[in-house]
Amino acid sequence: MTSLVGASVVRKEDPNLLTGRGTYVDNLQLPRMLHMAFARSVEAHARLRSVDVSAALRVPGVVAAYTAADFPGLPSLGGPAPALERPTLAVDTVRFVGEPIAVVVARDRYAAADGVAAVQADYEPLPVVPSLDAALADGAPLLFPDLGTNVVNQIPLADDAEAELAAAPRRASLHLVNQRLAPAPMEPMAAAADWGPTTLTVWASCQAPHSVRNRLSALLGKPSHEIRVIAPDVGGGFGAKAAWYPEFVLAALVSRRLGRPVKAMETRSENLVAMTHGRDQVDDIEVGFDDEGRILALRVAITQGVGGYPYGDAVGLPFLTMIMAAGCYRIPKVVAGFKAVLTNTTPVSAYRGAGRPEGSYLIERVVDLVADETGVDPLEVRRRNFIPAEAFPFTTHMGPMYDSGDYQKSLAKLLEMIDYDALREEQAAARDDPARPLVGLGFSTFVELGGVGPSAMMEGFGMLGGWESASARVNPDGGVVLAVGTSPHGQGHETMFSQIAADVLQVPFERITVVHGDTAAVQEGIGTFGSRSTPVGGEAVKRASARLLEKATQIAAHILEAAPQDLQVEDGRFTVKGSPDRGVDWPEVANKAYRPTQLGDIEAGLEATARFDPNSLTFPSGAHCCVVEVDRDTGRVRIRRYVAVDDCGTVINPMMAQGQIMGGVAMGIAQALYEKVAYGADGQPLTTTLAEYLVPSAAELPRFELGHTVTPTPANSLGAKGIGESGATAAPQAVVNAVVDALSHLGVRDLEMPVTPERVWRAMQTNGGAR
């Protein structure tokens, strides 16, 4: 049987999704189900004096309306300390526009919307802190006065590296903004709950159903075995659906109170203020280097936006930026530190890359700056600073060890795909011809962190561990069912895990079904985030399959009257090595596995479970190139080519791996050129629909040219590193480097994302004019 690992098998998931048979939460219809919707704060910072739901209750079709006061002991959404917790429904203070202040429950979503419109709130406005600068200014208004500051968490610079920076022959500074983004999965947040006499069932568009169940159990005081959480088809998550949302608790409590199932799905306008935001980081960088472009010292001071409540991951994300700040490079002295800062904005949490894109962006911009200052070619600067292939595993400045990599090889592969010299010649010719747009080349050689992670580290993040679980069982007819603890939201796990299991078990791909996203059907799992499903989940699947195979081999051996060690399995058949005519097919083994009369002393049954706890993280990497044209008159940037070489170690399904890269790169290009969550000085969000928040369409994006290299990881036996977040980590700087490169002859050194046509035009004016 040809190995399926490494094959571009088409997805099992697709027929349902293509024919409109997806099971997204809002498709759920249960008898007597009610619709729940939130009334939300219209003030960015205010005392909430009162919330009056009486008019809402009079709206026809509205069954109930509640504020926090209606749920004594309502658990909070969490936070790093009791005084800093985010309430599930606002109590006396609101800290961002969109913060829930009441829920309305109605027989249909139309009545619920009318009910929400009728809720009245009395606000006493407080001074608004709309930005990081405002939050850190002397005398800034405080979101939590008792804290005495808006800095909610920090790791100061261990030392300032001033000696090393001063000693370097050359030195430069860079101030980079990694702007606030909205994850905006196509499916907004949705949750439903049915609290019956004994069991609570919750449907949640989430990334970690077991975690949701365990947390609900703790918050609601209901034993976990009486709670079932189902993540059905989830329409994208990107990290934001790993956060904790008020719907989860409130749908359950409202269902219990009213004795009916309750469903809530936010509108897109709500989603753009209620779902956690990503990025919102500013990096102040000092770099010391020599005339040959070797980087000698790097100091990074990170200011991380947290939003109105420190309840998401934002307080910890900059730690990941710190870890990855040196990128692919061996830099003798690296120091980093951060401040996590509250502002009256939507809370920030993980978003595709979660702290690592920020790190990759900053170091790749630094590298181009060093190239610009020294006159050394930016590719040569990279080569001179790369961690060499023989130095792996490489211990980084902060301790984590890069598992494997060959950055020179990825770059060399990239250069096979572009004619670098010809592009530079073309750039020069275009520069000299006023009738032609300016041409720019931007590179991004990146490394990112995946396969989260070793349990010691994950316990530190409040999780049970960093393992992942898989169970495999064979039905009497030979059909295989895998239950995995990961929880996909588009990644194609059913296909990918079937490929791995098929190779181990030697059963056809079509005879394997994968079950996930249901705590009643799947053993304890950790979930999907941090590019872990392949390296950790895949390894668990492989091990569970191997354990299952052991039992099956034992049974086959019994049937064949041979020793298990003398058997091999291939193409659905167990045979005695060297005697191919002595064999038994999988279905016969499966059937006999449940017939004690056929098994001698062997216990009936054919199932196995495994949990894989990785000893290390994985570090996917790659080399991307972006070729842009810049309109000299309007400043518009057009991406002419985007070439990506990625190294995720062993590739399970090349077509799906490419899909992850293209989707991630699309998000990265969107960050570079289109998207930004904007707030006014009064804390009012300005990008509240997809007409203002510019998610690009196919018309805005280029065709991608993709290549790959393979440096397997020792972190698991598959050699697989994961790839889900690589594209979003690599792309923004490839694009920005390209535009800066196009304008560098005008003296432009930096451009802030999103690099809008107006920003480019202004840079061309300020730095020497368009022609």
Partner 1 sequence: MIPAAFDYARAGSVEEAVALLGLHGDDAKLLAGGHSLLPLMKLRVAAPAVLVDIGRLADLRYVRDGGDHVAIGALTRHHDLETSDLLEREVPLLRHAAGQVGDPQVRHRGTIGGSLAHADPASDLPAVVLALGGTLVAAGPGGQRSIAAAEFFRSIFESALAPDEVLTEVRLPKVGAQPWAFEKFSRRAQDWAIVGVAAQRNNGTTGVALVNMGPTPVRAADAEAALAQGASAADAAAVADRGTDPPADLNASADYRRHLARVLVARALARMTG
Partner 2 sequence: MRISLTVNGVAEEADVEPRLLLVHFLRERLGLTGTNVGCDSTSCGACTVLLDGESVKSCTVLTVQADGTEVATIEGVSAGDGALNPLQAAFQRHHGLQCGYCTPGMVMAATSLLRENPHPTEEEVRVGLEGNLCRCTGYQGIVDAVLETAAGGSR
Q: Give the footprint of partner 1 on this chain (CB under 8 A).
A: 109-110, 113-114, 117, 267-269, 633-634, 636, 674, 678, 686-687, 689, 691-692, 694, 696-697, 699-700, 756-758, 761-762
Q: Which is nearer to partner 2, 235 or 451 (CB)?
A: 235
**Nearest distance in Å: CB 579, partner 2:** 41
Rg (CA), the chain: 28
- Which among partner 1, partner 2, none contacts residue 633 (Cβ within 5 to 8 A by kind)? partner 1
**Nearest distance in Å: CB 669, partner 2:** 9
d(CA 691, CA 497): 38
Q: Which is nearer to partner 2, 61 or 141 (CB)?
A: 61
d(CA 418, CA 428): 17
634 to each of 438, 638, 639, 762, 768, how far by Cα in Å? 12, 11, 15, 10, 15
Q: Which is nearer to partner 1, 268 or 749 (CB)?
A: 268
Which candidate, 419, 397, 348, 360, places its Cα nearest to that of 181?
348
**Nearest distance in Å: CB 309, partner 1:** 26
**Nearest distance in Å: CB 25, partner 1:** 16
Structure tokens at 3: 């190995």
Residues in the chain: 771
Q: Which is nearer to partner 2, 111 or 322 (CB)?
A: 111
- Which among partner 1, partner 2, none contacts residue 658 (Cβ within 5 to 8 A by kind)? partner 2
* Burial class of residue 691 (count of CB atoms within 10 Å of its CB; 0-12, 13-18, 19+): exposed
**Nearest distance in Å: CB 724, partner 2:** 10
- Which among partner 1, partner 2, none contacts residue 674 (Cβ within 5 to 8 A by kind)? partner 1
Tokens 């603890």 — which residue?
Answer: 485
d(CA 170, CA 164): 11
- Which among partner 2, partner 1, none contacts residue 761 (Cβ within 5 to 8 A by kind)? partner 1
Dihedral of CA 762/765/769/771: which sign? Answer: positive
602: amino acid identity, one letter: I
What separation, in Å, do the N-terminal and C-terminal C-alpha atoms of the chain show? 63
d(CA 413, CA 407): 10
- Could you tell me which residues come within 8 angstroms of residue 78 by beta carbon, excluding any fewer than 6 positions away? 85, 86, 244, 311
Q: Which is nearer to partner 1, 499 or 688 (CB)?
A: 688
**Nearest distance in Å: CB 362, partner 2:** 24
414 to each of 235, 624, 627, how far by Cα in Å? 33, 7, 13
Residue 380 in contact with residue 374, Cβ under 8 Å?
no
- Which among partner 2, partner 1, none contacts residue 50 (Cβ within 5 to 8 A by kind)? none
- Which among partner 2, partner 1, none contacts residue 113 (Cβ within 5 to 8 A by kind)? partner 1
What b/e readout covers 513-531, taking b as 16+ CB neighbours within 10 angstroms? ebebbbbeebebbbbbbbb
Residue 612 in contact with residue 486, Cβ under 8 Å?
no
- Which among partner 2, partner 1, none contacts residue 665 (Cβ within 5 to 8 A by kind)? partner 2
- Which among partner 1, partner 2, none contacts residue 14 (Cβ within 5 to 8 A by kind)? partner 2
| Interface residue list for partner 2 (CB under 8 A) | 10-11, 13-22, 24, 26-27, 29, 108-110, 184-188, 233-236, 238, 265, 267-269, 489-492, 655-656, 658-659, 661-667, 689-691, 695-699, 701, 703-704, 727
Q: Which is nearer to partner 1, 119 or 623 (CB)?
A: 119
Q: Which is nearer to partner 1, 465 or 696 (CB)?
A: 696
Q: Which is nearer to partner 2, 16 or 634 (CB)?
A: 16
**Nearest distance in Å: CB 211, partner 1:** 30
Q: How many CB atoms lie within 10 A of CB 698?
A: 6
Q: Which is nearer to partner 1, 389 or 690 (CB)?
A: 690
Residue 666 in contact with residue 728, Cβ under 8 Å?
no
Q: How many CB atoms lie within 10 A of CB 346?
A: 28
Q: Which is nearer to partner 2, 612 or 704 (CB)?
A: 704
Distance of CA 222 to the CA centre of its chain: 30
Q: Which is nearer to partner 2, 24 or 594 (CB)?
A: 24
- Could you tell me which residues come within 8 angstroms of residue 670 by beta carbon, excluding any fewer than 6 positions away? 694, 695, 696
* Burial class of residue 57 (count of CB atoms within 10 Å of its CB; 0-12, 13-18, 19+): middle
94 has which bridge partners?
46
- Which among partner 1, partner 2, none contacts residue 477 (Cβ within 5 to 8 A by kind)? none
**Nearest distance in Å: CB 628, partner 2:** 17
Q: Which is nearer to partner 2, 236 or 465 (CB)?
A: 236
d(CA 756, CA 753): 8
Q: Which is nearer to partner 2, 342 or 512 (CB)?
A: 512
**Nearest distance in Å: CB 272, partner 2:** 9
Which SS3 state, helix, strand or coil, does residue 595 take? coil
Q: Which is nearer to partner 2, 16 or 54 (CB)?
A: 16
- Which among partner 2, partner 1, none contacts residue 509 (Cβ within 5 to 8 A by kind)? none
**Nearest distance in Å: CB 102, partner 1:** 17
Distance of CA 170 to the CA centre of its chain: 37
- Which among partner 2, partner 1, none contacts residue 666 (Cβ within 5 to 8 A by kind)? partner 2
**Nearest distance in Å: CB 286, partner 1:** 32
- Which among partner 1, partner 2, none contacts residue 710 (Cβ within 5 to 8 A by kind)? none
- Could you tell me which residues come within 8 angstroms of residue 101 by beta carbon, excluding any fewer than 6 positions away? 38, 39, 40, 41, 48, 51, 67, 89, 90, 94, 119, 121
Q: Which is nearer to partner 2, 564 or 696 (CB)?
A: 696
Q: Which is nearer to partner 2, 6 or 465 (CB)?
A: 6
- Which among partner 1, partner 2, none contacts residue 602 (Cβ within 5 to 8 A by kind)? none
Q: Which is nearer to partner 1, 133 or 758 (CB)?
A: 758
Residue 618 in contact with residue 721, Cβ under 8 Å?
yes
H helix and E strand count, the chain: 20, 28
Instruction: List alpha helices for 620-677, DSSP H.
Output: 654-673
- Which among partner 1, partner 2, none contacts residue 107 (Cβ within 5 to 8 A by kind)? none
CA angle centred on 165, ends 160 and 167, rounded to 5° = 130
**Nearest distance in Å: CB 674, partner 1:** 7
Residue 452 in contact with residue 617, Cβ under 8 Å?
yes
- Which among partner 1, partner 2, none contacts residue 117 (Cβ within 5 to 8 A by kind)? partner 1
Structure tokens at 486: 């990961």
**Nearest distance in Å: CB 266, partner 1:** 9
**Nearest distance in Å: CB 492, partner 2:** 7
**Nearest distance in Å: CB 744, partner 2:** 28
**Nearest distance in Å: CB 270, partner 1:** 9
User: 654-673 and 726-743 helices cross at what angle (nearest 10)?
Assistant: 50
Which candidate, 594, 592, 586, places its Cα nearest to that of 558?
592
d(CA 61, CA 107): 5
**Nearest distance in Å: CB 695, partner 1:** 8
754 preceded by cis ω (within 30°)?
yes
- Which among partner 1, partner 2, none contacts residue 428 (Cβ within 5 to 8 A by kind)? none
- Which among partner 1, partner 2, none contacts residue 756 (Cβ within 5 to 8 A by kind)? partner 1
